[in-house]
Amino acid sequence: MAKRSFLIPGVDKRLLIKDSLKTMPDVTRRRFIAGGASLGALTLLTGCDVVDSSSADALLAKVSKFNDAVQSFIFNPDALAPTFPESAITKPFPFNAYYDLDDAPEVDGKDWKLEVRGLVDNKKSWTLDELYKLPQFTQITRHICVEGWSAIGSWTGTPLRDFLKFVGADTRAKYVWFQCADKDGYNSPLDMRTALHPQTQMTFKYAGEILPRAYGFPMKIRVPTKLGFKNPKYVVSMEVTNDYKGGYWEDQGYNSFSGS
């Protein structure tokens, strides 16, 4: 067995380095390793910082879970997001993603099919033409980004709850989990109560026109009671499930419920 040495009594210094690496953003981590991660380099930081940051992270993650529960508790399934007149629409409505518009998925509407999986009676995949035949409604609501900015837009489509009932989804399940065509595989879980909210919409049009590529062609899920990052675009599949499958942003630390 390798000999262990301790900088702080009871703390293995190799574990200390490993732990502290975890708390660094990717670029910093790579630079830190490239620059020769060593205890010498580590001692530049105070021992207190190194040890505390991982325990602080654990505590923050716990509080975020608690905040999920609080938000779920105060969520009123009948409370509607405010709607606005057409004159209030933000023009141009911003394109927003973790990539540039040039890297946005280019989905061929003719080949595309929406896959429906999990706890549903009818697992048939849906073509765009079939989806377009479902009853559609328009709503003008405020999109609020996790970054703080907001913009008002007009979205048209089918209430998700109507679709879920139509395909015989088990609405007692906990989540509807969306997978999307974004690069690096965006996905996101939506709690069932929010999925059944009257304003949660399978969106096919923006401002009365077929959803453009920038806003998520061929289908977006518009959830006015969630922050923007929980509004999937370029949707490929939906799965009704009791398992928490994580999400692109949720796994990086954004609060999972992130409700409005």
Partner 1 sequence: MSSLRVTDEQVSTTPAKVIQPAWVRIMHWINALAMILMILSGWQIYNASPLFGFSFPRDYTLGGWLGGGLLWHFAAMWLLMVNGLAYLVTGFATGRFRKKLLPITASGVLHDVRAALTFKLGHDDLTVYNYVQRLLYAGIILVGVLIVLSGLGMWKPVQLYYLVMLFGDYPTARYVHFFCMAAICAFLVIHVLLALLVPKSLRAMIIGR
Classify each residue of 36-55 as buried b or exposed e, where b means 16 or more C-beta atoms within 10 Å of its C-beta.
ebeeeebeeeeeeebeebbe
83 binds partner 1 (CB under 8 A): no
Closest separation between CB of residue 153 and partner 1, Å?
14
Q: Of the candidates 21, 145, 167, 207, which one interacts with partner 1 according to CB under 8 A? A: 145
Show Cβ contacts of residue 240 under 8 Å, excluding neighbours closer than 6 positions.
117, 118, 119, 120, 164, 169, 170, 173, 175, 176, 177
77 binds partner 1 (CB under 8 A): no
| Positions in 22-41 near partner 1 (CB under 8 A) | 23, 25
Q: Of the candidates 36, 135, 148, 208, which one interacts with partner 1 according to CB under 8 A? A: 148
Classify each residue of 153-167 as buried b or exposed e, where b means 16 or more C-beta atoms within 10 Å of its C-beta.
bbbbbbbbbbbbeeb
* Radius of gyration for the alpha carbons in the chain, expressed in angstroms and rounded: 22
150 binds partner 1 (CB under 8 A): yes
Neighbours of 12 (CB within 10 A): 14
228 binds partner 1 (CB under 8 A): no
76 binds partner 1 (CB under 8 A): yes
| Positions in 105-144 near partner 1 (CB under 8 A) | 142, 144
* SS3 of 235-246: EEEEEEECCCCC
Closest separation between CB of residue 256 and partner 1, Å?
12
54 binds partner 1 (CB under 8 A): no
Closer Cβ to partner 1, 200 or 241, answer by number = 200
260 binds partner 1 (CB under 8 A): yes
Q: Of the candidates 41, 45, 58, 63, which one interacts with partner 1 according to CB under 8 A? A: 63
Show Cβ contacts of residue 241 under 8 Å, excluding neighbours closer than 6 positions.
118, 119, 173, 174, 175, 176, 177
190 binds partner 1 (CB under 8 A): no
98 binds partner 1 (CB under 8 A): no
Binding residues for partner 1, rule CB under 8 A, total: 33
Closer Cβ to partner 1, 67 or 138, answer by number = 67
Neighbours of 176 (CB within 10 A): 27
90 binds partner 1 (CB under 8 A): no
CA angle (81 as vertex; 67, 166 as ends), nearest 5: 95
Pick the stretch among 6-14, 80-88, 131-139, 203-211 that binds partner 1 (CB under 8 A).
80-88
Pick the stretch among 10-18, 61-69, 183-191, 232-240 that binds partner 1 (CB under 8 A).
61-69
User: Chain-centre distance of CA 86, in angstroms?
Assistant: 28
And the tokens for 56? 């602080």
* Contact (CB, 8 A) for 193 and 75: yes
Which residues of this chain interact with partner 1, rule CB under 8 A?
23, 25, 59-61, 63-64, 67, 71, 74-76, 79-82, 142, 144-150, 224-225, 249, 252-255, 259-260
